[in-house]
Amino acid sequence: MTETVTADTRDTRQRILDAAEGVFMACGYDGASMRQIAGDAGVNLAAGHYHFGSKEALFQAVLNRRLHVLNQERLRVLDELEAKAAGAPLKPSQILDAFFGTLLRMAITHGPRGQTFLRLIGRTLTEPSEFIRTALSKEFADVLERYKAALFRALPEVPKEEIVWRFHFMLGATSYAIAGIDTLRLITDWQTGATDDDLERLAPRLMSFLLGGLRAPLPAAPAAPQPRGNVRNRRKKP
Amino acid sequence: MTETVTADTRDTRQRILDAAEGVFMACGYDGASMRQIAGDAGVNLAAGHYHFGSKEALFQAVLNRRLHVLNQERLRVLDELEAKAAGAPLKPSQILDAFFGTLLRMAITHGPRGQTFLRLIGRTLTEPSEFIRTALSKEFADVLERYKAALFRALPEVPKEEIVWRFHFMLGATSYAIAGIDTLRLITDWQTGATDDDLERLAPRLMSFLLGGLRAPLPAAPAAPQPRGNVRNRRKKP
DNA sequence: GTCTATACCCTGATAGAC
DNA sequence: GTCTATCAGGGTATAGAC
């Protein structure tokens, strides 16, 4: 907490970040406009550009502000688990809880803002813009590497390639569940009875599902498509 | 095939639809522009509005063109399975294959265009715009109702609410896996060795994962958070 | 019926006064 | 550091030529 910035400045930046978080969450990156963000934040349009330089940079700032602490926490929890295990492989459920549970817990403990960010994360992982992919890739590199390694050790009988795919699927189920916590209900037209504390009810259900998927029996043939009519599994590799 | 429209007209409409499919897939709804679509299609900017009325209507047309036949096929396959079962409940794996397998198979048999559409579907399910939700809700209503019922019968020991949630998660894992079939690889920075026939390798892996998740053991306590340090499961209900 | 040209608005971004 | 005024470009939609 140096005093390179005045208290007033910090407030402005913070207000812009908070407003941007909400607008990006509600409208997506393309759908959001700097004007609306500035309006919601109660600041001038130019303030956003002054403090962050561009819309892209603002988006990255919004993302990193919470994503970084989330991923640091994920690393810390994993460190703790591995220290306690003293060299023994962790249980898959421990690893999943450290990765996905930490995410959900953070959203709960951070109140409504945390939920907003959680949904922003869910949406963002599906946005394919180049710069977003770059930003996420950088931010996630260490964490994914560590967790990937932990899963390899935890499931030595499962081919690594399969674990990677399943991590992929788990990420998808999670971001989708999070992003659509109030959206998908309309698509599917199902009343899940959820009202306000969706997150606390979501967590255990999601974790069970993920664990079941991760530990599922391997697909019939290791790398061959299902026995159907027109398979084309000729590889081009020599 | 009446001749209310000339062959040339049909080509224009088709070209616009094909171009729109690609652009919407690549940029999302908000990110796509009518100018780019018209450019890719080799038609004038106004042609899109003439043939479809608006950007929203064009998007719906792109969606429904293939989504409708997909969902009809899903219903047909389910009918067939249930007829063959003669009143007995289906196996969960059959139901999942009818729903998700049909999707993946359609993408394969329709060639590169099918893959483009597949990814568009994946992206679209995460778009929160009001009109998209409405369109999807209408298009999916029957299919989801039928498959939901089939799953209830197939898994009588699992609470219905839980099945609904897990269907939700499966949709997420699938759309994400599909939408990110070449996107996520960059985020995760993993080489999965996949090149061209990702889809055929994806299908069996995904199906195993989904089935494992669907059949996972139920969460410990029906509606209580996991036993952790700082649980706050005091409900506000009286 | 089909396409061309254009209108009109909103976007992100900037320069310069305060 | 903050704000006003403005820019150039791209957004959707439409009036009117063929």
Please check whether residue A109 lies inside any domain of the structure.
Answer: yes
Residues A203 and A148 in one domain: yes
Q: HEC profile for chain A?
A: CCCCCCHHHHHHHHHHHHHHHHHHHHHHHHHCCHHHHHHHHCCCHHHHHHHHCCHHHHHHHHHHHHHHHHHHHHHHHHHHHHHHHCCCCCCHHHHHHHHHHHHHHHHHHCHHHHHHHHHHHHHHCCCCCHHHHHHHHHHHHHHHHHHHHHHHHHCCCCCHHHHHHHHHHHHHHHHHHHHCCCCHHHHHCCCCCCCCCHHHHHHHHHHHHHHHHHCCCCCCCCCCCCCCCCCCCCCCCC
Q: Which residue has the higher pLDDT, A17 or B130?
A: A17
A181 against A84, higher pLDDT: A84
Residues A97 and A133 in one domain: yes
Would the CB atoms of A30 and B26 count as touching at under 8 Å?
A: no
CATH of the domain at A124: 1.10.357.10
Q: How confident is the model at residue B16 (pLDDT cuts 50, 70, 90)?
A: very high
Domain count, chain B: 2
Domain co-membership, A107 together with A22: no
Residues B122 and B191 in one domain: yes
Residue-wise pLDDT for B172-207, tens only, equals: 999 888 876 555 554 455 554 444 456 778 899 999
The CATH code of the domain that includes B25 is 1.10.10.60
Residues B136, B81 share a domain = yes
pLDDT at B105: 92
At B214, which helix (H) or strand (E)?
helix B198-214
Reported as a pLDDT band with limits 50, 70 and 90, residue B1 is: very low
pLDDT, position B228: 47
Nucleotide with smallest C1' distance to residue B56 CA:
D12
Most confident option among A130-144, A184-198, B155-169: B155-169
Q: Which nucleotides of C are covered by protein (CB under 7 A)?
A: 1-6, 10-16
Residues A170 and A95 in one domain: yes
- Examine the domain organization and report whether B16 and B91 are in the same domain: no
Q: Which domain holds residue B4?
A: 1-53
Q: What pLDDT score does A56 carry? A: 96
Domain boundary among A18, A33, A53: A53
- Mean pLDDT within A165-174: 93
Q: Is the pLDDT of residue A10 over 70?
A: no
Residue of B93, B102, B169, B197 best to disrupt the A interface, most CBs of A under 10 A: B169
Answer whether residue B201 is part of any domain. yes
What is the pLDDT at residue B114? 87
pLDDT band for A125, please (50, 70, 90 cuts): confident
Q: Are residues B46 and B161 in the same domain?
A: no
* Mean pLDDT value across chain B: 84
Query: Residue A33 CA to nucleotide C12 C1', Å?
Result: 9
In a shared domain, residues A110 and A129: yes
Strand D bases with any atom < 7 A from protein Cβ: 1-6, 10-15
Looking at the structure, do residues A34 and A75 belong to the same domain, yes or no? no
pTM of the model: 0.86
Place of tokens 């019968």: B153
Q: Is residue B227 part of a domain?
A: no
Which segment of A159-173, B97-111, B183-197 scores lowest on mean pLDDT? Answer: B183-197
Q: Are residues A111 and A200 in the same domain?
A: yes
Note whether B85 and B194 are same-domain residues: yes
**pLDDT tens digit string along B35-53?**
999 999 999 999 999 999 9
